[in-house]
Structure 1
Amino acid sequence: MTGLRRHTLVWLSQAPGAETAEDRTRAAIWHTAGRPFVVTRRRNDGNEIGLGFCTTDPAHPELRPRRVAALTDPAHIVRHARPPRLEEIARCPAATAKADSFSHLISAAAQAGHDLRVYGSWMWQALTGERHVHEASDLDVVIEAADLDAALRTAAFLAHEEQELAFRIDGELSFPDLGEVQWRELLQPQDEVLLKSIESMQLVSRTRLAR
Structure 2
Amino acid sequence: MTGLRRHTLVWLSQAPGADTEDDRARAARWHEASRPFVVTRRRDDGLDVGLGFCTTDPARPDLRPRRVAARIDPDRIVRHARPPGLAEIARCPAATTKADSFSRLISAAAPAGLDIRVYGSWMWQALTGERHVHEASDLDLVIDVADLEGAGRTAAFLAGAEQDLAFRIDGELSFPGVGEVQWRELLQDKDEVLLKSVDTLKLVPRSQIGR
TM-score by length of 1: 0.98
1:111 Cα deviation from its structure 2 partner: 1.3
1:41 partner SS = coil
Q: Does 1:131 align with 2:131?
A: yes
Q: Does 1:93 align with 2:93?
A: yes
Structure 1 CA distance, aligned partners of 2:31 and 2:14? 7
What is the rounded CA distance, in whole Å, between the counterparts of 1:125 and 1:185 in structure 2?
27
Residue 207 of structure 2 aligns with which residue?
207
What's the offset of the Cα at 1:210? 4.2
Runs of 4 or more, structure 1, over 4 Å off, are: none
Q: CA deviation at 1:68?
A: 0.2
Deviation at 1:43, TM superposition (A): 4.2
Q: What corresponds to 2:82 in structure 1? A: 82
- Tell me the residue number matched to 1:114: 114
Listed as ranges, the gaps of 5+ residues in structure 2 are: none
Distance 1:30 1:197 in 2: 25
* Structure 1: distance between partners of 2:82 and 2:40: 13
The structural deviation recorded for 1:33 is 0.3
Local SS of the residue matching 1:207: helix
Q: Read off the aligned partner of 2:96 and give its amino acid letter.
A: T
Tell me the alpha carbon deviations over residues 133-154 of structure 1, each in whole angstroms, 9 at most, x when there is no partner: 0000000000001000000000
The structural deviation recorded for 1:87 is 0.3
User: 5 Å matches for 1:22-171?
Assistant: 22-171=22-171
C-alpha contact (below 8 Å) 2:175/2:210 kept by paired residues: no
Paired position in structure 2 for 1:192: 192
Give the Cα separation in 2 of the matches to 1:201 and 1:2.
17
The code of the aligned residue for 2:128 comes to: T
| SS at structure 1 position matched to 2:124 | helix
CA–CA distance in structure 2, aligned partners of residues 210 and 70 of structure 1: 30
Q: Secondary structure at the match of 1:155?
A: helix
Q: Which residue does the alignment assign to 2:18?
A: 18
Give distance in 1, aligned partners of 2:180 and 2:210: 14
Cα shift at 1:44: 3.7
Please give the TM-score of this superposition, normalised by the length of structure 2.
Answer: 0.98
Q: Following the alignment from structure 1 to structure 2, what is the Cα–Cα distance between the partners of residues 49 and 2?
A: 8
The aligned length equals 211
Alpha-carbon separation, structure 2, partners of 1:201 and 1:13: 29
RMSD: 0.9
- What's the offset of the Cα at 1:176? 1.1
> CA-to-partner distance for each residue in 1:63-85, whole Å, 9 max, x for gaps?
10000000101110000000000
Q: For structure 1, which runs of at least 5 residues remain unmatched after alignment?
A: none
